[in-house]
Structure 1
Amino acid sequence: MSRLADGVRHFRSAEYPKRSDLFQSLAGGQSPNALFICCSDSRVNPTLLTNSDPGDLFVVENAGNIVPAPGSPGGGGSQGTGGEAATLEYAVRALKVPEIIVCGHAKCGAMGGLMAPDSLGSLPLVADWLKHSASVRETVNAEHPNASQEEKVDAAIKANVRLQLENLKTYDCVREAMDAGTLTLSGWVYDFVSGEVIRWDDDQQNWVEVA
């Protein structure tokens, strides 16, 4: 706790004064540039990655950067409204974000667990949550039967991002905004070891560098 308290003291004395005008302007409301859906992994910092300021990103973080499909437990629909679904609806309909980015990352523990479900014996809640991406495991195992476990996890990280993009398109609010031409979707994978960020290109049906 002392480390975090020291950080707050530094923010109050050194960082806040530099941006006090920005924070005062944000008191009137927010108009973020994107909804950024990423993993809770402590090695992923959306604002650092995108060189963003407070107010620029509306952020959802969870294990595996997952967006449950509507109607599934944890998703929107008749079986209840999860936090991801509610945040998505608010971002699109209230804040009218022009872009949604789903960002996976290298060395993802959630995807490691997805590809090795027997390792999740002591984590039943995690195992249950990862069922939203069960099709990823099936796809990767079918397409890469002879790959190493590490290679399968790398493939799962990318496949999972693409799955979440498809899940997003099943939400009414997303479909409506996309049909109106006011919303675009992007899928990224961030390698924090190399600093590389790639995105899925629908036209090329391949991963290309964001930069």
Structure 2
Amino acid sequence: MQSLIDHARTFHQRLSGDRRHLDPLPDGVAPQAMFITCSDAQVIPSLITGARPGELFELRTAGNVIPPYRLGRLTAEAATIEYAVSVLGVQDLVVCGHSRCGAVQGRVRSWTLRSAPTTRWWLLQTHRWRDVPPDDEEEAARSHLVAQLDKLRRYPRVARGLSSGRLRLHGWFYEVDTGVVLNYRRDARGFTPL
């Protein structure tokens, strides 16, 4: 923890010579995209995309889980998605899953989540895990990503934006060991290099 504290203390000094990281964006906050991904520390959206401060509106959850939309059910995820689409006017939504995802591994091998019942319950709402082979963790993570995309399409504001063409939805899969980012192609029902 001390190295993180030391870095935070001197952060302003490192940036003082590079004002582009501190200056506001020309038109205020206008993110290019919303980036929904896992809380896993191996996934760093700005590093993957090269985004500057203000260019990505991020939502991070354990296992990049998007809860099913239900009218009257308040969740931080639903509020954050609504804010990005309705207030900030983002035009691109990226849901990014990744290899070696501890949440997906924990769900596929449910015994690993015995000590984390809230996390286990959270992951149960993702999709039908029975259809995922437990011996193929990467396939489980990709299947999980596709399920999150399907749920996001059911959010009313997202559905309206997609049908009008004002909004685009992207499914990315980040391979932690190689740095390769794959893109989900719904028409082909598969992943191709980005």
The alignment's TM-score, normalised by the length of structure 1, stands at 0.86
List runs of 5+ in structure 1 lacking aligned partners: 72-76, 142-147
Asked if structure 2 preserves the Cα contact closer than 8 Å seen for 1:100 and 1:184, the reply is: yes
- Which residue number in structure 2 is paired with residue 114 of structure 1? 107
Q: How is 1:190-209 mapped onto 2 (pairs within 5 angstroms)? A: 190-209=174-193
Cα gap change, 1:14/1:165 in structure 2, threshold over 3 Å: closer, same or farther?
same
Contact (CA 8 Å) 1:37, 1:103: kept in 2 or not? yes
Structure-2 residue corresponding to 1:99 = 92
Correspondences of 1:1-211 after superposition (within 5 Å): 1-19=1-19, 21-26=20-25, 29-71=28-70, 77-78=71-72, 80-135=73-128, 137-141=129-133, 149=135, 151=136, 153-210=137-194
Name the SS of the counterpart of 2:23 in structure 1: helix
Tell me the alpha carbon deviations over residues 124-143 of structure 1, each in whole angstroms, 9 at most, x when there is no partner.
111110111241x11214xx
Counterpart amino acid of residue 49 in structure 1: I
RMSD: 1.6
Is the Cα–Cα contact under 8 Å of residues 146 and 171 in structure 2 kept in the other structure? yes
Show CA shifts across 1:122-181 (max 9, x none). 11111110111241x11214xxxxxx62x1x21111011111111011111101111221
The whole-number CA distance in structure 2 between the counterparts of 1:139 and 1:17 is 53
CA contact (8 A) 1:114 1:134 kept: no
TM-score with structure 2 length normalisation?
Answer: 0.94
Deviates more, 1:22-31 or 1:37-46: 22-31
Which structure 2 segments of 5+ residues have no match? none
Q: Any idea what SS the aligned residue of 1:25 has?
A: coil
Code of the aligned partner of 1:103:
C
Provide the aligned length of Structure 1 versus Structure 2.
Answer: 194
Instruction: State whether residues 95 and 171 of structure 2, in contact with CA within 8 Å, keep that contact through their aligned partners in structure 1.
Output: yes
**Deviation of the 1:22 alpha carbon:** 4.9
Closer, same or farther in 2 for the Cα pair 1:167/1:134, shift >3 Å? closer
Task: Name the % identity.
Answer: 34
Q: State the 1:90 CA deviation.
A: 0.3
Q: Is the 8 A contact 2:69 2:154 kept in 1?
A: yes
